A and B are shown apart, each in its own frame.
Chain A
């Protein structure tokens, strides 16, 4: 159990285009999903927290108009990188929080999406 999928796994696009990445919790409902970005040999950087049915909360320094997040259902969140530029090339990883009563919360990660902007 607790499987999270991401699609696509790889995307190459031209500068100025928009890219949508999907994150799905396959066997559990996730009221909260998180979007991270990781540059080579660096640690995970939280970009935003996405709650189902409400606006995402963005971390300081992350442009909400550039990185559009939609969490339309308890199993799906999407991240759209608008007007992508080469500096947006990175490894984007989502995670979904599975609530376990009495035991705290556990985040499960998707396999990630590699974005290359030419």
Chain B
């Protein structure tokens, strides 16, 4: 069973702080890693993709991947109330469908 695990939260952070979202996966053959944001009642929106070990930065978002530890994380700097949403970690072994975690609910308080 290929599993993607996320803490369901809610994770509450004050506005302006750094939000740290974590994800672990069980399939060592996984090659592609994604973070999606899903607002209530909406479909998922791609935020970041990462394929190699290390950090990848895009604006206020930084994805971190450690394949040896089977761990991927998402950091959100200067968190805003508009960042409040559910964040889905997704993992793929090339050629297969994405395997989603259940998501972490993030609440950024003003």
* Interface, chain A (partner B; CB < 8 A): 34, 43-44, 46, 49, 91, 93, 95, 103-112
Contacts and interface: CB of A to CB of B under 8 A. Distances in A.
B42 A107 contact: no
A110 to B, nearest CB: 6
B102 A43 contact: yes
B100 A93 contact: no
Given A107-B34, A112-B43, A49 B49 contact: no
How many of chain B's residues touch chain A, expressed as a range?
A: 20 to 34
Contacts of B49: 103-104, 106
17 contacts: A34-B97, A34-B98, A43-B100, A43-B103, A44-B88, A46-B100, A93-B44, A103-B49, A104-B32, A104-B49, A104-B51, A105-B95, A106-B32, A106-B46, A107-B34, A110-B43, A111-B43
Contacts, number: 49
Interface of B: 31-32, 34, 36, 41-46, 49, 51, 88, 90, 92, 94-95, 97-98, 100-103
B102 A109 contact: no
Nearest to A43: B102
Contacts of B98: 34, 95, 107
Q: Which of A46, A103, A105, A110 has the most CB of B within 10 A?
A: A105
Of the candidates B43, B44, B90, B97, the one having the most CB atoms from chain A within 10 angstroms of its own CB is B43
Given A106-B49, A109-B45, 4 more contacts: A95-B98, A104-B92, A108-B46, A109-B44
